[in-house]
Homo-oligomer: A and B are copies of this chain.
Amino acid sequence: MKTIALMLCGTAAFAADPHLMPLPASYTPSGGRLAIDQGFRVALGGYREPRLEKAAARVIDRLARQTGMPLPGSLSKDATTATLVMETREGSAIVQRLGEDESYDLTITTRQARITAVNPLGILRGMETFLQLVDQDPKGWGVAAATIRDSPRFPWRGFSFDVSRHFMPVEVVKRTLDGMAAVKLNVLHWHLSDDQGFRVECEKYPKIQELASDGLYYTKDEIRDVIWYARDRGIRVVPEFDIPGHSTALLTAYPELGTLPGPYRIERKWGVFDPTLDPTKEEVYTFLDGFIHEMAELFPDQFFHVGGDEVNGEQWKTEHVQSFMKAHGLKDQGEFHRYFNSRVQPIVAKYAKRMMGWDEILAPGLPKDIVIQSWRGQKSLAEAARLGYSGILSAPYYLDLMHPAAEHYLADPLNEDTKSLTPEQRARILGGEAAMWSEYASPENVDSRDWPRLAAIAERFWSPQNVRDVESMYRRMETTSRWLDTLGLTHLSNYRVMLQRLAGDGPVEAVRTVADLVEPIKGYTREQTVNYTQQSPLNRLVDTARPESIPAREFNLAVGNGTMDHARLRQTLVAWRDNHIALDPMIRQREILSEVQPLSAALTEAATIGLAALDSIEGASPKPDASWIARSKASLAEAKKRKGDLVLMIVPGIESLVERAAAH
């Protein structure tokens, strides 16, 4: 199956689209090719700043990694002979601003490639395009000559990274930033606190790191380091500290801020929990003033995210809250939450930040400079825009839900629901943010949850709205996935490591055959099988298998539309059918493989049915009778059902074979 999948991908090289993701606003091939060899040199033209010099050094380093060629490390001073010239007209803000010009032109001739941009940000974007275009031909490494004019569709193209539920060390954050820059995302929304851990050092309130983090937090030096690392890559860093809900960890350190007296303990499970700050207490605002002051100095970005989502209101049923609400004329939980926000927003503003929050914070009376992040969807966002609030879309981009790339890809921040907006209102929809909530993500497997699907979402945010050819997207996403792995992301390399752990000394290929063809269950259904906690090992097949099985997708597609030749199809089905023979003894010997049993059995069953259908289609056996067809369909219906936390994905292809056998 592996080979087949890759062979289909192999055709990408012949497809019309350049192997770029996101696709640029315009790409015009001009014939010929710029050779990349060990004479490769980079020169800077126009405005200079250290960030550009670092970028040039990075181009050389990354090109050396991509090609495996040692390349001289120093900048060329000669823009006429350099292979790549990067030229900027003016500098950029020290603190990157929303909406700064990211456009660039990239002109590649047979003699030279030249990136020109108004702002260094455009150079950073164009340089990724250039690197992504480097490939091999019969003469060696090079880039096809072309003219590219490019600029982003949305100014806010973010990735929200939950480092609370599972802590992600600095190296994970950094390689995530590398990947984001590669696909031209420009905001890291750092979800730094939640019920399960508060991940930042605070000098004024040190119990935060002492009691609310299990020792797993970023020092302020590390945060500064990450911010500079991000800035070098043209990425803003927006911190989120979730209040008044999602604050169990904070209340573990400072129970006096809670609505109930506590004591509180860092939450180990997943879900929405009761602990909530107490909006009736003045000391809560004193604390927040001190905390936000320190964090506003640490995080230079203009935006400051205060969460605000999923307050379940349980703790607010208590007497002193109810009487406070009555005394202040606050009718319900919504109004009470609005009161809280109306107290928090001036604090945020006092430290020169614009407040951001999830849908729930939207309420009349808050100033128009706040920004809404929508987990509810385009309708909610359109509503906000109509009221004069800016917003970004996150609802359709939750990577932890394990949905296929196409689904994320086709969700547009400007859809039917936003159609009736005026142009001015529409401009308030600033873009979107993908999100990774880390209940089931560890430093080891998080990359495989983010990538390569995040690249497809990045294209949605960057490329023109009419770029929505799903097949082209999948072809380019596979190429991009491999390119991202050379950059240091681990979604491919750790797959192998995790498969090997599952296989132990046994034949890893047998485990891989199943792993390649299954997917973790979708949405919020994983809790149903096991009582997962923060300590649950994430070392099983469900943690290893990719969110979307590309081999299964390609199989279903090729069999469904009849483009897979029968010899190859038979070979594939035989290999699947017989895989259980190799796998079964391993499963019996290794506890860690126990959940693989029903999936492997279902694969054998489905492949056996597929082979019988193929025999019949080819005339090697008589046309199947109605009873066989009925039994086969029933078996396949079973085979595609959820098994534990996983689903076997190749059944639709087999079903179409049975249909064809029945019809012919």
Taking residues whose C-beta sits less than 8 angstroms from the other chain, chain A's interface range is 35 or more
Contact of A479 with B by CB under 8 A = yes
- Complex interface: chain B residues within 8 A of A135 (CB): 504-505
Contact yes or no, A591 B139, CB < 8 A = yes
Contact of A262 with B by CB under 8 A = no
- Given A19-B505, A38-B535, A68-B498, A7-B582 contact (CB < 8 Å): yes
Q: Which of B136, B534, B589, B590 contacts A592 (CB 8 A)?
A: B136
Contact yes or no, B589 A507, CB < 8 A = no
Within the assembled complex, what's the spacing in Å between the Cα atoms of A591 and B69?
A: 14
Contact of A322 with B by CB under 8 A = no
Within the assembled complex, what's the spacing in Å between the Cα atoms of A70 and B68?
A: 36
- Complex interface: chain B residues within 8 A of A7 (CB): 507, 582
* Residues A122-172 near B (CB distance < 8 A): 135-141
Contact yes or no, A496 B496, CB < 8 A = yes
Contact of A492 with B by CB under 8 A = yes
Q: How far is the CB of A125 from chain B (nearest CB, A)?
A: 23
* Residues A478-502 near B (CB distance < 8 A): 478-479, 482, 485-486, 492-493, 496-498, 500-501
How many identical subunits does the complex contain? 2
Q: Which of B19, B69, B478, B493 contacts A496 (CB 8 A)?
A: B493
- Complex interface: chain B residues within 8 A of A215 (CB): 73
Q: Which of B137, B444, B582, B591 contacts A140 (CB 8 A)?
A: B591
Contact of A509 with B by CB under 8 A = yes
Q: How far is the CB of A5 from chain B (nearest CB, A)?
A: 9
Q: At the interface with chain B, which of A9-17, A353-361, A652-660?
A: A9-17
Contact yes or no, A582 B498, CB < 8 A = no
- Given A3-B582, A589-B136, A497-B486 contact (CB < 8 Å): yes
Within the assembled complex, what's the spacing in Å between the Cα atoms of A2 and B537?
A: 29
- Given A138-B589, A486-B501, A38-B3 contact (CB < 8 Å): no
Contact of A510 with B by CB under 8 A = yes
Contact of A6 with B by CB under 8 A = yes
Contact of A588 with B by CB under 8 A = yes
Within the assembled complex, what's the spacing in Å between the Cα atoms of A70 and B441?
A: 12
A65's nearest neighbour on chain B, judged by CB, is B444
Q: How far is the CB of A136 from chain B (nearest CB, A)?
A: 4
Contact of A67 with B by CB under 8 A = yes
Within the assembled complex, what's the spacing in Å between the Cα atoms of A510 and B6?
A: 10
Contact of A284 with B by CB under 8 A = no
A214's nearest neighbour on chain B, judged by CB, is B73
Contact of A558 with B by CB under 8 A = no
Shortest beta-carbon contacts, A-B, top 7: A68-B539, A6-B507, A69-B537, A136-B590, A140-B591, A3-B509, A10-B506
Q: Contacts A73-B215, A137-B591 given; 7 further ones with Cβ under 8 A?
A: A10-B507, A10-B586, A13-B505, A70-B537, A478-B505, A486-B497, A493-B496
